[in-house]
Amino acid sequence: MIAGRVWKFGDNINTDLMLPGSLLHAPEEEQMKSVFSSHRPGWLAAMRKGDIIIGGRNYGMGSARPAARSLRNIGIACLVADSINGLFFRSAVNFGFVTLECPGVSSAFSEGDTAEISLEDFTVSNKITGTILKALIIPEQLLNLMCGGGIFPLLEAEGLVTPVRPVRAKEA
C-alpha cells in the first residue's frame, strides 16, 4: 500500500517541466534541484518524501528524457494519472518509479487530499472523500521492475552493468 499527500498536475505535462533540457546532462543531484521549477516555483521546497502526484491526460508527453528518475529521486512515492505517455511510462519502469493509469483520477482528487494506492488490486482511494477508482493493471514483470528499483538493479544482479549507488530522495 502506498499512501501520501496529493499534488495535482493537469493535462499534457511535458517532461521538460519535470527535467529542464538545460540540465539533461547534469548530475542527478543538480537535476533534482530543478524539478518543476519553471512550472511551479517553490513546489520542490513544499513537497515531502512520500507525496503522490495526480496527473491529467497524457502525463509525461515530450521527450524520452529521464524525468521519471527525477521524480523518484526527489521522493515522490507514486504517480497516478488519467493517461500516461508511453515513453514516460517506459522510463518509469526503467527507473523504478511506480506509475499508474487510472481514468477519472484527476477529477476525484483535490490538491492536499490523501491518496491510498493498492498495488494488490490496483485501486486508488481518496481517503478524504471515500472515492475508490480502479487503475489499469500493470503486468507482474513490469510492476516488479517498478517496485524493485528498475532495470538497472536487474542488470547489476546479472553482472551486465557495474553497480552504481543511486541518488535517492533529497540526499543531495
User: What tens digit of pLDDT does each residue of 120-155 get?
Assistant: 999 999 999 999 999 999 999 999 999 989 998 888
Q: What is the pLDDT of residue 70?
A: 95
One of 3.40.50.2300, 3.40.50.2000, 3.40.50.300, 3.20.19.10 is the CATH number of 2-157, namely 3.20.19.10
Q: What is the pLDDT of residue 165?
A: 66
Q: What is the largest distance, in Å, between two alpha-carbon atoms of the chain? A: 48
Question: In whole angstroms, how far apart are CA 141 and each of 89, 93, 114?
Answer: 14, 10, 28
Q: What is the pLDDT of residue 125?
A: 98
* Length reported for the chain: 172
Check residue 21 and report its DSSP letter: G
Q: What is the pLDDT of residue 49?
A: 97
Q: What is the pLDDT of residue 170?
A: 57
Q: Which residue has the higher pLDDT, 115 or 158?
A: 115
What amino acid occupies position 60? G
- Asked whether the CA dihedral 29, 51, 76, 88 is positive or negative, the reply is negative
Q: How far apart are CA 132 and CA 135, in angstroms?
A: 10
- For the chain, give the percent of residues with pLDDT over 90: 73
Q: What is the pLDDT of residue 3?
A: 98
Q: What is the pLDDT of residue 21?
A: 85
**Rounded average pLDDT over 34-55:** 94
Q: Say whether pLDDT at 172 is over 70.
A: no
User: Beta 99-101 vs 114-118: how paired, if at all?
Assistant: unpaired
Locate 148 and state its grid cell. Answer: 524493485
76: closest CA among 122, 125, 36?
A: 36
Q: What is the pLDDT of residue 169?
A: 63
Domain-wise residue ranges, the chain: 2-157
Of 17-26, 76-85, 111-120, 155-164, the range with the lowest mean pLDDT is: 155-164
User: What tens digit of pLDDT does each residue of 45-67 get?
Assistant: 999 999 999 999 999 998 778 99
Locate 163 and state its grid cell. Answer: 553497480
pTM over 0.85: yes
